[in-house]
Amino acid sequence: MQIDLNCDLGEGMQTDEQIIPLISSANIACGFHAGDVYTMKRTIQHCLEHGVAIGAHPSWPDKENFGRKEMQRSAEELYELVIEQLHILSRLAHEQGSQLHHVKPHGAMYNQSAKDKSIAAGIAKAVKDFDSSLILFGLSGSYSISEAEKIGLKTASEVFADRTYQDDGSLTPRSQPNALIDDEQQAAAQVLQMIKQQKVTSIAGKHIPLIADTICIHGDGAHAMKFAKAISVALKQNHIDIKTN
């Protein structure tokens, strides 16, 4: 058994270099919510040193709110926003002799895509037009996945180690006090449940079926390093290899 373990990186956190050896895929901020050319180059370099797949982490243009404020843009503007960010990171990857493996939208763009067909479709079209071989990471069971699959784009259904779930399979909004998981053993247990049982227990105690192709750890989380270590150990103890899709 194997699973992809991904982390959002290049967002200015000090633990990126320590986390990269423990994961298989990195989602690198493209400068619109965090990061700059220097952080992108440095993160790509560390990923290449450890055989970690390089992914773009596009966002709404919103450094002030770390990309977590919902925005509305026309279909054309959304398309250009995504394309521009893919070009930026792809060019830097090519300069180091590598290329993009996947795309995972960030923050509000990710969450809006999960519940809004038009945004999901717009992102999927931009990714496919840029490079049809790329894999789109999206919330398991959401429009992000179904709209991408409609146009023949490869997808990876993503689940979260450090977030709680609602009864409908959506993530608990960050505005609520119980949205984040703070204990690394709880996070590791949730990861194992999602991989081995293909379900997650909601905050109300309901078992929600889901598909888990890739597990996310938020690199900006207060416990990111502890979570990465605990989850890596738990996966190895359960004979689950950490590998890209």
List phi, psi (to 5°) of 24: -115, -20
Local confidence band at 192 (pLDDT 50, 70, 90 cut-offs)? very high
Local confidence band at 221 (pLDDT 50, 70, 90 cut-offs)? confident
Distance CA 39, CA 83 (A): 20
Local confidence band at 97 (pLDDT 50, 70, 90 cut-offs)? very high
What is the tens place of the pLDDT at every residue in 18-76? Answer: 999 999 999 999 999 999 999 999 999 999 999 999 999 999 999 999 999 999 999 99
Residues comprising the chain, all counted: 245
Distance CA 97, CA 136 (A): 22
Q: Dihedral of CA 8/11/13/18: which sign?
A: positive
Local confidence band at 220 (pLDDT 50, 70, 90 cut-offs)? confident
Residue 245 has pLDDT above 90, yes or no: no
Domains in the chain (CATH in brackets) are 2-242 (3.20.20.370)
What is the tens place of the pLDDT at every residue in 127-143? Answer: 999 999 999 999 999 99
Calculate the average pLDDT of the chain.
96
**In this prediction, what percent of the chain has a pLDDT beyond 70?**
100
3-state secondary structure of 82: helix
Local confidence band at 198 (pLDDT 50, 70, 90 cut-offs)? very high
Average pLDDT of the residues in 134-162: 97
What is the tens place of the pLDDT at every residue in 98-115? Answer: 999 999 999 999 999 999
**Nearest CA among 156, 195, 212, 154 for reference residue 1:** 195
What's the confidence (pLDDT) of residue 96? 97
Number of C-beta neighbours around residue 240 at 10 A: 17
Local confidence band at 223 (pLDDT 50, 70, 90 cut-offs)? confident
Residue 100 near residue 90 (C-beta atoms within 8 A) = yes
